Chain A
Amino acid sequence: MKAFELQNPVTLAEAARLLPTKEGDESARLLAGGQDLLTELKHHLVEPDRIVNLKHVPGLDAIEWGADGGLTIGALVTLQDLAEDERVRRELPILAEAAESVGSPQIRAMGTVGGNLNQRPRCWYYRNEHAVCLKKGGTECFAYEGRNKYNAILGGGPSYIVHPSDLAPALVALGAQLMLASPDGQRQVAAEDFFTLPSEGNVLRETVLAPNEILARIVVPPPASGMKSTYLKFQERSSYDFALSAVAVCIWMDGKKVKEVRMVLGAVAPKPWRVKRAEALLAGRELDADALKAVGEEALRGAEPLAENGYKVPLTKGLIVRALQKLS
Chain B
Amino acid sequence: MRARSEPAWKPKKDLTVLNRDIPRVDGPEKVTGAAKYTHDIRLPRMVYARFWIHPYPRLNLTKVDVAPALKVKGVVYVKALKEAGEDVRYQGADAAIAVVAAETPEAAEDGLRAMIIEAEELYPPMVTAEQALDESSPKIGRGGKNVNVREERGDEEAANIALDTVDVLIEESYSLPVQHHVCLETHGSVVDYRGGDEATVYTSIQNVSGTNASAARALELDADKVNVITHHMGGGFGSKFGIGIEGSTACRIAKELGRPVHLMLTRGDEFLMGGNRSGSQQTIVGGASKDGRLVALVAKADRFGGTGGGAFAGLPYIYKVENSFFESRSIYTATDSSRAMRAPGHPQASFGMESMVDELAFAVGIDPLTFRKQNLEDPVYHRQLDRVAKEIGWDAHPNKTEPGAVDGTRQVGIGFAISQWGSRSRPGSQCEVRIEPDGRITSTTGTQDLGTGSRTYVAAIVAEEFGLEVGDVTARIGESAFPTSAGSGGSVTTGCSAPAIKDAAHNAREAFEARIAPMLDAEPGQLVWRGGEVISAQDPQKSLTWKQACAALGSEPLSAMGEWQEHLRSQGVHGAQAAKVEVDTVTGELKVLKMVFIQDCGLVLNRLAARSQVNGGQIQALSYGLLEARVHDPDLGLMLTDNLDDYKIAGVQEIPEMISIMDDDDDRLAVMGMAEANCIPGHGAIANALFNACGLRLRDLPLTADKIIMGLSDRS
What residues make up the interface of A, taking CB atoms closer than 8 Å to B? Answer: 2-3, 44, 104, 122, 124-125, 127-128, 130-131, 142, 145-147, 149, 234, 236-241, 244, 308-311, 314-315, 318-319, 321-322
In the docked arrangement, what's the CA distance between A308 and B704, Å? 12
In the docked arrangement, what's the CA distance between A104 and B638, Å? 28
Q: Which 7 A-B pairs have the closest CB atoms?
A: A239-B651, A311-B706, A238-B653, A239-B653, A318-B586, A124-B640, A314-B713
The yes or no answer to B510 lying at the interface (CB within 8 A) is no
Query: B706, A308: Cβ atoms under 8 Å?
Result: yes
Number of B residues contacting the other chain (C-beta, 8 Å)? 37
Query: B587, A322: Cβ atoms under 8 Å?
Result: yes
| B653 neighbours in A (Cβ, 8 Å) | 237-239
Query: A315, B646: Cβ atoms under 8 Å?
Result: no
Query: A236, B709: Cβ atoms under 8 Å?
Result: no
**Cβ-closest chain A residue relative to B587:** A318
In the docked arrangement, what's the CA distance between A156 and B635, Å? 21
| B634 neighbours in A (Cβ, 8 Å) | 146
| B650 neighbours in A (Cβ, 8 Å) | 237, 239
Query: B710, A321: Cβ atoms under 8 Å?
Result: no
Q: Binding site of A, secondary structure by majority: helix, strand, loop or mixed?
A: loop
**Cβ-closest chain A residue relative to B702:** A236
Selected from B589, B627, B651, B710, the residue in CB contact (under 8 A) with A311 is B710
In the docked arrangement, what's the CA distance between A314 and B589, Å? 12
10 A-B pairs with C-beta separation under 8 A: A124-B631, A142-B633, A146-B633, A146-B636, A236-B648, A311-B588, A311-B710, A315-B587, A315-B709, A322-B586
Query: B646, A131: Cβ atoms under 8 Å?
Result: no
> From residue A253, how far is it (CB to closest CB) to chain B in Å?
22
What residues make up the interface of B, taking CB atoms closer than 8 Å to A? Answer: 55-56, 106, 110, 113, 586-589, 591, 626-627, 631, 633-636, 638, 640-642, 645-646, 648, 650-654, 704-707, 709-710, 712-713
**Cβ-closest chain B residue relative to A104:** B651
In the docked arrangement, what's the CA distance between A290 and B626, Å? 34
> From residue A2, how far is it (CB to closest CB) to chain B in Å?
8
Selected from B55, B106, B645, B646, the residue in CB contact (under 8 A) with A130 is B55
| B645 neighbours in A (Cβ, 8 Å) | 122, 127
Query: B638, A128: Cβ atoms under 8 Å?
Result: yes
In the docked arrangement, what's the CA distance between A318 and B588, Å? 9
Selected from B591, B652, B710, the residue in CB contact (under 8 A) with A310 is B710
| A2 neighbours in B (Cβ, 8 Å) | 110
| A145 neighbours in B (Cβ, 8 Å) | 635
Query: B705, A147: Cβ atoms under 8 Å?
Result: no
In the docked arrangement, what's the CA distance between A314 and B587, Å? 8
Query: B638, A244: Cβ atoms under 8 Å?
Result: no
> From residue A156, how far is it (CB to closest CB) to chain B in Å?
17
**Cβ-closest chain A residue relative to B591:** A238
| A104 neighbours in B (Cβ, 8 Å) | 651
**Cβ-closest chain A residue relative to B633:** A146
Selected from A131, A146, A308, A314, the residue in CB contact (under 8 A) with B709 is A314
Query: B646, A124: Cβ atoms under 8 Å?
Result: yes
| B110 neighbours in A (Cβ, 8 Å) | 2-3
In the docked arrangement, what's the CA distance between A314 and B638, Å? 30
Query: B631, A147: Cβ atoms under 8 Å?
Result: yes
In the docked arrangement, what's the CA distance between A2 and B627, Å? 33
In the docked arrangement, what's the CA distance between A309 and B710, Å? 10
In the docked arrangement, what's the CA distance between A319 and B589, Å? 11
Query: A236, B705: Cβ atoms under 8 Å?
Result: yes
Query: A234, B635: Cβ atoms under 8 Å?
Result: no
Q: In the complex, which of the residues A131, A239, A321 has the most CB atoms of chain B within 10 Å of its own CB atom?
A: A239
**Cβ-closest chain A residue relative to B632:** A147
> From residue A301, how far is it (CB to closest CB) to chain B in Å?
17
Query: A147, B587: Cβ atoms under 8 Å?
Result: no
Q: Tell whether A315 pairs with B633 under 8 Å between CB atoms, given A131-B638, A237-B651, A241-B648.
A: no
In the docked arrangement, what's the CA distance between A308 and B110, Å? 37
| A125 neighbours in B (Cβ, 8 Å) | 633, 640
In the docked arrangement, what's the CA distance between A309 and B705, Å? 11
Q: Tell whether A147 pairs with B654 under 8 Å between CB atoms, given A131-B638, A244-B705.
A: no
In the docked arrangement, what's the CA distance between A131 and B633, Å? 10
In the docked arrangement, what's the CA distance between A34 and B43, Å? 31
